[in-house]
Amino acid sequence: MIEFRLDPASGVPTYLQLVQQVEHALRLGYLKPGDQLPKVRDVVANLAINPNTVLKAYKDLETKGLAVGRPGQGTFIQAALSQVALPELAELRKSLLGWLTTADAAGLDEDGIVALVTRALRDFYERCPGQGGRGGAASGETEVVA
């Protein structure tokens, strides 16, 4: 099951952070169709947020066709998002870890790395508009723990 985390300093609305974390978990294969999202009352208790915020996030996921609410049962994932196949994902991760080591050696801290990657993503999608959506870090995606 997914465990939501919030970043109050991100500037991203709370409900949108929840939506982005579910989308991120779907892309990475942590969530799949049939999986149940945490009950609203559990998210409210864990994050100390308003129930309407969680309901708004779940409604947004339903509108996108990613989740479905079942009265008396909860909210369940009903669709998957495209994801990179596992062997390719492992190779990409290995390559990225090497790049991060180089960036660290060059003196970049975490904020500098995030800024550089965000700028590179924006540049990439501006030059290559047909290369997929503008998601992930460029849109303020947050960490998911599954």
pLDDT, one tens digit per residue, over 25-83 is 998 888 999 999 999 999 999 999 999 999 999 999 999 999 999 999 999 999 888 66
At 145 the pLDDT is: 41
pLDDT of residue 129 exceeding 80, the answer is no
- As a whole number, mean pLDDT of residues 83-95 equals 76
pLDDT at 78: 95
The token duo for 53 is 């915020």
Residues contacting 21, CB < 8 A, separation 6+: 2, 4, 5, 141, 142, 143, 144
Give the per-residue pLDDT at 141.
Answer: 40
Averaged pLDDT, 106-121: 92
Confidence class for position 126, pLDDT limits 50, 70, 90: confident
Do 3 and 146 contact (CB within 8 A), yes or no? yes
pLDDT bucket at 86, cuts 50 / 70 / 90: low
Domain segments of the chain: what residues?
86-133
Q: How far is CA 128 from each of CA 15, 82, 83, 117, 118, rounded to the nearest angstrom?
A: 30, 19, 20, 16, 15
Mean pLDDT of all residues in the chain? Answer: 86
